[in-house]
Amino acid sequence: MMTHGGAGVAAECADMRRVAVVAPNFKRRLSGVTSTIVQLVPLQAREGVPIVTLGPGLPAGLPKMRWWQVPLLMRKPAARTFRIWHARRNVEMVAGLVLRDILRAPVKVVFTSAAQRRHKPFTRWLIRRVDSVVATSARSGSFLEVPHRVVMHGIDTNRFHPASGAESEWRASGLPGRYGIGCFGRVRHQKGTDLFIDAMVELLPRYPEWTAVVLGRVTAENRTFAEELRKKVHNAGLEGRVFFLGEVADVRPWFQRISLCVAPSRNEGFGLTPLEAMASGKAVVASDAGAYPEMIVPGQTGKIVPSGDASLLARAIEPYMLEPWRASQEGASARAHVVAHFALPGEAAALQEVYESLWGWQP
């Protein structure tokens, strides 16, 4: 049985007569897109949006339709003349267009674009055929050749919040030092993990009270890359100061324990890590990749540096290590900034306006 307009938390399957929005997720592995769906869809459902997900790799608690229910998309929902198929990947766009144009299902396709580059010809062809386009940042919107609306991602500021007890303090980590500095995300060249390690090799010998942590999965194709980073740490004599923690079950305590977050990506789609860190009350030093420059206020919530330069990254980090109060002060400002401008309900409300504009209602 569906509840809250579409959120059947423990439901076996959705009541498709009521479902008006489908959020497909056609990738089994966790990604930024998957994380967005996991955080956003439950809120949309609680706010009364009759929405379901479709696809693998999603938590059991999300409102879902089953694959055997796909033929039911050929019928109109009870309260609307058509459903909205909200795609976030090419394969999901293709599926939506097949439903609309080949199978003649009563659906319209919304596509969210996070790419920070000009799309490939096939993607541009797909985008020209969808009914509405959303860009996750002004920068990603600048690469689109069609009318679009910018709706930046939000963060659950209740789920990500500042430390509230001893278990959230650095000493609870069991690692040495008084202060922690962290780099979060998959360990790979694109994410700039090597730039972070290079900066730590330069800085940590000068700041003995600081310890560095790297949290994130190492995929098979990046094992050699990760091993090279470990060797670099070993050769610098910093094995007791830099810790590779892998993929942890719950990253939130680590955002709370560290004093500074570093996001050194060479390129990025959007990048939620800085928002998660800022919502946790941490200042962020980030590259100018993705939407980072649109979410960080230099000198107030952190710093932005050119991507790909470990030396400039180290120079941006060092003032926080020299004077840890800076990280604490800017971290408090970061939390306030995220609550004011990047809270998840704002994203949900903006997307609802996109949906309603297609359904014919003008806000």
User: 32-46 vs 344-359: helix axis angle to the nearest 10?
Assistant: 70
45-92 pLDDT tens trace: 999 999 999 999 888 889 999 999 999 999 999 999 999 999 999 999
Share of the chain above pLDDT 90, in %: 85
Q: What global pTM score does this model have?
A: 0.85
262-315 pLDDT tens trace: 999 998 888 889 999 999 999 999 999 989 999 999 999 999 999 999 999 999
Sort 252 into a burial class: Cβ within 10 Å, 0-12 / 13-18 / 19+.
Answer: middle
Q: Which two tokens stand for residue 199?
A: 């900066």
Q: Which two tokens stand for residue 361?
A: 């209602």
pLDDT band at 28 (very low <50, low <70, confident <90, very high): confident
In this predicted structure, the answer to whether residue 12 has a pLDDT above a threshold of 80 is: no
Q: Which two tokens stand for residue 2?
A: 């569906």
In terms of pLDDT, which residue wins out, 363 or 173?
Answer: 173
- CB-based contact 286:305 (threshold 8 Å): yes
3-state secondary structure of 251: coil
In this predicted structure, the answer to whether residue 10 has a pLDDT above a threshold of 50 is: no
Give the pLDDT mean for 217-236. 96
Q: What is the DSSP string of 267-301?
A: S-SS--HHHHHHHTT-EEEEES-TTHHHH--BTTT
281-293 pLDDT tens trace: 999 999 999 899 9
With residue 339 as reference, give the H or E element that holds it. helix 324-341
**21-154+343-359 to CATH, choices 3.40.50.970, 3.40.50.2000, 3.30.1330.10, 3.40.30.10:** 3.40.50.2000
- What's the whole-number average pLDDT of the chain? 92
In this predicted structure, the answer to whether residue 105 has a pLDDT above a threshold of 60 is: yes
**Boundaries of every domain in the chain:** 21-154+343-359, 166-341
pLDDT value at residue 362: 42
3-state secondary structure of 132: strand
CATH 3.40.630.10 fits 166-341, yes or no: no
- Decide whether 21-154+343-359 matches 166-341 in CATH topology: yes
